[in-house]
Amino acid sequence: MKGIRLRILKDRAFKFAIYLLSLLSLTPLFLIMFYTFRKGLKAINLQFLTHLPKPVGVEGGGISNAIVGTFLLVTIASAISIPIGVWAGIYLSENKRSWISEFLRITVDILQAIPSIVIGIIAYLWVVKPMGRFSALSGGIALAIMMLPIVVRNTEEVLRLIPPYLKEASLALGVPYHRTIIKVIIPAGIPGIVSGILLGISRIAGETAPLLFTAFGNQFMNWNIMKPVNALPLLIFNYAMSPYDEWKRLAWGASVVLILLVLAGNIISRMVAKKWKVQF
């Protein structure tokens, strides 16, 4: 039993190191949250949420245009990516081993891996360049490309977990294949699918890079999807990089709103998956 003491000592030291390093990995998160909320909560009030930003040198002002812009962008992105994504996900779960599915999975993986800034370039080339101007539409399309792989993958995984005997039960009642998918399989998977969509939305709502040269930003309120819009992350970026304290204050406030939005998306997504969980 040579060196048993040393071995035990090593074991303890290792455990201590693991706990310490784990704590260290989470510390920045606490620091960032603490700092953001300390700076940002002060900025938030009704005027902040309902007013437009004021020009440099003028106190007050709000971020209503960015909230509306983020809403517009997320709506456009969802309208494009949800139907295509869910349908492609159904294809994958229904045709698990076909070569088309294998190929599609690789495609989706690559789409998911593309850096968001490159997706910005793609949307610029497709929409901004032919249209000749920045627009909410181009920003929405950029975000749709980011959201699409999330929806496809998630839908496939959710539908895969639905027991095959449900499909058999429906088919054995003489229900045609397409009705079986639409009326039996999709309803059984809907909590998971919706939960994945919410997760995707909260992911894209915080994206800045794809919007830099698509939605571009706008000092004014805009509901027209053919024109540039502001968005929460864009506003944070532009004001954070500005030298004015008043604008930085707005940026901190917007950061809190954005974090809360993303958190809400995540929490609701989990709740949906849990609450509506279908018991098989």
- Nearest to other proteins of 7, 220 (CB atom): 7
DSSP H helices in 42-161:
46-50, 64-94, 99-113, 116-123, 129-131, 136-160
CA distances from 242 to 56, 150, 152, 157 (A): 10, 34, 39, 44
**Nearer of residues 223 and 277 to other proteins, judged by Cβ:** 277
User: Cβ(166)–Cβ(185) under 8 Å?
Assistant: yes
Which C-beta is closer to other proteins: that of 4 or that of 46? 4
Neighbour count for residue 237 (Cβ, 10 Å): 18
**Minimal distance in Å, beta carbon 228 to other proteins?**
11
Residue 46 or 164 with smaller CB distance to other proteins = 164
Residue 152 Cβ vs other proteins, minimum distance, rounded to whole Å? 7
Nearer to other proteins, 49 or 168 (CB): 168
Least CB distance to other proteins at residue 245 (A): 11
Residue 260 backbone dihedrals phi, psi, to 5 degrees? -60, -40
Quote the least distance from Cβ 144 to other proteins, whole Å.
9
Rg (CA), the chain: 24
Contacts of residue 150, Cβ cutoff 8 Å, sequence gap at least 6: 85, 112, 196, 199, 200, 203
Q: Is 206 exposed, middle or buried (0-12, 13-18, 19+ CB in 10 A)?
A: middle
Give the nearer residue to other proteins in terms of CB position, either 78 or 202.
Answer: 202
| Residues whose CB is less than 8 angstroms from the CB of residue 168 and which lie 6 or more positions away in sequence, other chains included | none
Q: Closest distance between other proteins and the C-beta of residue 17, in Å?
A: 7
Least Å distance between CB 265 and other proteins? 8
